[in-house]
Structure 1
Amino acid sequence: MNRIVEKLNEDKKLLSIYFTAGYPNIDDTVVTIKNLETNGVDMIEIGLPFSDPLADGPTIQDSSTAALKNGMTTEVLFTQLEGIRETVSIPLIIMGYFNPMFQYGMEAFCKKCKELGIDGLIIPDLPVDVYHNEYQAIFEKYGLINVFLITPQTSDERIRYIDSISNGFIYMVSSASTTGAKSGFGDEQTAYFERIGNMGLKNPQVIGFGISNNETFTQATKYAKGAIIGSAFVKHVTKHGVKSINGFVDSIIK
């Protein structure tokens, strides 16, 4: 069974953390992954830096730019992840944009992910119908879960289509904006969370965008299986470095 599915079956609310590979320093990738698992994180999204990350807010955009300047590439990331499964057991997901994966070769990329022990991919700019028609068979061949994003503007019809071809979780974007920490969720977002929760989807939802502290984590997981924190964590390691991860995680799941 895929590690993502195993984790989703656990009787707990899940905390997933996004970080940018090769940031703040090129060699911080594996240290970050190990520290996150040690401190109780349930899943990790490894951000593959891209020069034009359209779905990301300024914090993650800046970290991607810095990581690229540090020398991070697809090949460097894959080299860093060699042997990661000797020490890390929680689900690992690569989040990146389609162009670098396409340039690498989509089947070659998926094959390498399987060899390294990657469990899934999040590709914000890969249309669901293109995935379904052209790439789903490749993902399934290598045992990878493709995680789709939905927003408050996604139609019920589209959500049900995404649900029908998904086999992990649905990434529920809390708002139509780019990524970034928010102070809390308003009535409009709460109504959206409730609407999706009442649809009876077969795949659990994990909420991302705007989760930054214990309050927003608690709010989000009232309506979903888990929550994803990205920008707030990137800000933390920018300021404090990757050796201070325990304090950040403790503040979320205290």
Structure 2
Amino acid sequence: MSGKQQAEPGRGDPARPWKIATGILTAALVFCLGVLSQTLLSGRSQTDASATSPNAATTTATPETTRQTVDPSRKAEQETEIAKLARRQENDPMAKGRVDAPVVMIEYSDYRCPFCSVFAEETLPKLQPLIDDGTLRIEFRDLAVFGDDSVAAAAAARAAGKQGLFWEFQDALYRRLPNQGHPDVKDDLVMEIATQVGVPDMAAFEADYRSEETRTAVKNETAEGRRMGIDGTPFFFIGTRAISGAQPLETFQQIIAQEKAKAS
């Protein structure tokens, strides 16, 4: 790792997060967080990659235990509910890839999370070929769990997104921040990054960045994720599957290939 010293999307059916967050998806998340990523890693230890959480608490279970206790029909139902989380909205500034791609990866991240930064810098660029060939769509969602600066960073990225530069701003911000601890994100840094990536209307950017509407959108999306039981970042839904932490590139490629085959 090298040393270091991017219009608000619609939210679809407003009742959907509540429906998904109760019952089936809650069970699915318990299953996925404790087990699914281990089985996808083909025996690789979950400690090989990390997710950060304000509570710094994790639980794991063995694949063998899961196979004995998870009913196949219930697992299928859980996977169906997970697949419904994809928004697939045209002109979503916080998404990239074809709206009809066979696989949608939903990423929940916090800009002050060091492992989110690792994913953004080291893994995300290597998934670009799958976006380019129409296989993969990525939909980013905020999970601002590390305080006011996390909310501010997310608001800044959304403000840049209103001018078509969400991903550019995100990339530049992640590359500026250190991949350790939970670095500060202050106004001067936000404005500097916006200038760096070429935001054309800086007055509009600053107004959107500071607006209560933008920050409320960040907080609402964070609350939506937490209602589903997600409290560590990064966290991903890939098709019908879930994975926690900045896993190796090969893990993402494997799951995407499996989900593409399932969708065909």
Question: Whose strand proportion is higher, 1 or 2?
Answer: 1
Query: Which of 1 and 2 has greater Rg?
Result: 2
TM-score for the superposition, normalised by structure 2 = 0.31
The structure in which a higher percent of residues are helix is 2
Greater relative CO (CA pairs within 8 A, separation 6+):
2
